[in-house]
Amino acid sequence: MKTNYFKYIFALFVIVIAIFAVYKIYFKEEDKQNEIQENVVEEETKIKDLRLGISNFDTMNPLISSNREVLNIGKLIFEPLIEISEDYKTKLCLATECSKTSPTTYVIKIDNNKKWHDGSSLIAKDIQFTIDRLKEGKSIYSYNVEKVISVEVLDASTVKITLSEEVPFFEYNLTFPIMPNNYYLSEDFYTSSKIPQGTGMYKISQIDSSYIVLEKNNKWWNIKAKDAMIEKIYIKQFSEVGELYNSFKLGNIDIFTTENENLEQYIGTIGYSSTQVSSREFDYLAFNCQNAILQDSKIRKAINYAIDKTNILSSIYNNQGNVAEFPLDYGNYLYTREANSLGYNPEQSKKILEESGWEYKNNRWQKTENHKTKRLRFTLTVNSENIKRVATAENIKNQLEEIGIKVTIQKVSNSRYKEILENKNYEMILTGVYNSYSPDITAFFEEGNLQNYTNNEVKDILNQVKDIKDEQTLKEKYKRLIEIFLEEQPFIGIRRGRTTIVKSQKLSGEIKANNYFGYYGIENWHRI
């Protein structure tokens, strides 16, 4: 009887376990089905197109266009031999190998399995064709090949590029888009009405008077395209920037780029986020380091401390830009932030002057040497036709005179300004350059530089870095360069231009950008 009792209890226990197991399996399967359904719903809410707005459209041919935003968008369509990463490192793109075989010779290999949008293969002659077009001087990229004297096709996948002289970091010059040779055999490259062909992630499917339509290239060689959510990009053309802003406000545009810092008054405060990107424009104040007084680096440093660059940005440029001490972009992997800017400190400026033997009397600085009295007073030369720089010169004059350094502004015509620059006939001069992506800053320090500045250690470092491959060693060299620059101060960086990328809150995905490309990571974007 007792045995039967235990048998009964055991059977009951087994039945309970079985019921529990069935329950768990059922509801687990139900949860799984619910999860699948939720994922399907979520996937269905992701809109697979992107609406992008631009103004002042000219052409989609990247070797002809001068529109910055068209050139930016073009990097989705056309590809270079070498591309640039978010932190300004070079990466192989269409090139599979780029070898410096001598100071003036590069051998470049490509992969013929990479295809143009029409399905034809990329060949070495395409590289030669593109560089030949650039050498004709009609492209914004023509400067990139200025030192190229020949392009020799060695075989279907190899070219040899010969330069007239060594170009430090020449790989950065190979960032221009490559165009197909065969596609233009019976066409005038500059007037052709054919839709331009590229090798990139997206291809042009339509161009008309108001819209350009891009479609995802599902046969792209780069694996990143495989899972990209954005299937189509509609590029809306606007004749006026105000029309673009209004279209964005109405929800018809997902993303656009602008240099306008006062966006709120045009598009409101709700429904968008923005990302600021430094441009390649670099404005600076150059000293003549051969001047009897300005040859003293302490004087130059004192002047730097006395100039409030933030005030210049806000009062003259309406905050359209960033304070820039050094020519390299702040996002460059070779730029060390700990070495950034001496900062605005007029009291430190006065302290340096006093420690250097200058005496402040009667609202001016003076020093007596060999029975002769010297005073801190300088002439600042500026191009009268550049209104912003004239205003900057006035601002600098006022700030320096606040601490007792007298300044006379010399406003000259553009032609006279160029003469003065060429002859280096000035004490201080406001000027600017359009920097390349390359970390080559030789032009600022080489013999004949605008500052008449010489430093043997700087020369040695610049001679070394052009052949250094190790990243850490390169960083150390540039850190030392910046340290010397801040100590010697042969020129004062004033401003770097800035653009703003504006996106709707309905566009999901992180905006990662620099002045080379504004759409890093687009393969992870989608619209909701």
Quickly list DSSP for 424-485: T--SEEEEEEE--SS---HHHHSTT-TT----HHHHHHHHHHTT---HHHHHHHHHHHHHHH
Domain ranges of the chain: 47-77+200-271+505-528, 79-190, 278-499
Contact assessment for residue 400 and residue 303, using Cβ atoms and an 8 Å cutoff: yes
pLDDT, position 55: 87
Q: What's the CA gap between 309 and 423, in Å, rounded?
A: 28
Residue listed under structure tokens 């390169």: 474
Provide the pLDDT for residue 35.
47
pTM of the model: 0.86
Question: Would you tell me which CATH number, out of the four given (3.30.70.1350, 3.30.930.10, 1.10.760.10, 3.90.76.10), belongs to the domain 79-190?
Answer: 3.90.76.10
Residue range 301-317: mean pLDDT, rounded = 95
Number of H helices, E strands in the chain: 13, 21
**Can you tell me the mean pLDDT for 117-139?**
97
**Cα 239 to Cα 249: distance, rounded to the nearest angstrom:** 17
State the Cα–Cα distance between residues 350 and 305, nearest whole angstrom.
Answer: 9
- Given a cut of 60, whether residue 3 has pLDDT beyond it is no
Contact 24, 207 (CB under 8 A): no
Instruction: Tell me which fold the domain 278-499 belongs to.
Output: Dipeptide-binding Protein; domain 3 (3.10.105)
Q: Average model confidence (pLDDT) for the chain?
A: 89
371-398 mean pLDDT: 95
Nearest residue to 332 via CA among 284, 281, 283, 278? 278
Instruction: List, for residues 458-515, the tens digit of each pLDDT value.
Output: 999 999 999 899 999 999 999 999 999 999 999 999 999 989 999 999 999 999 999 9
Q: Do domains 47-77+200-271+505-528 and 278-499 have the same CATH topology?
A: no
pLDDT at 25 over 70: no
> Which H/E stretch holds residue 267?
helix 264-267
Task: Tell how far CA 49 is from the center of its chain.
Answer: 26
Give the percent of the chain with pLDDT over 90: 73
Confidence grade of residue 369 (pLDDT, cut at 50, 70, 90): confident
Mean pLDDT value of segment 423-435: 94
CATH of domain 47-77+200-271+505-528: 3.40.190.10
Instruction: Please state, in angstroms and rounded to a whole number, the distance separating the CA atoms of residues 367 and 299.
Output: 13
pLDDT tens digit sequence for 379-388: 999 999 999 9
CB-CB neighbours of 418 under 10 Å: 12
Rounded distance between C-alpha atoms, residue 297 and residue 339, angstroms:
18
Closest CA to 488 of 463, 516, 457: 457
Q: What pLDDT is recorded for position 436? A: 87
For residues 316 and 303, what is the distance between their CA atoms, to the nearest angstrom? 20
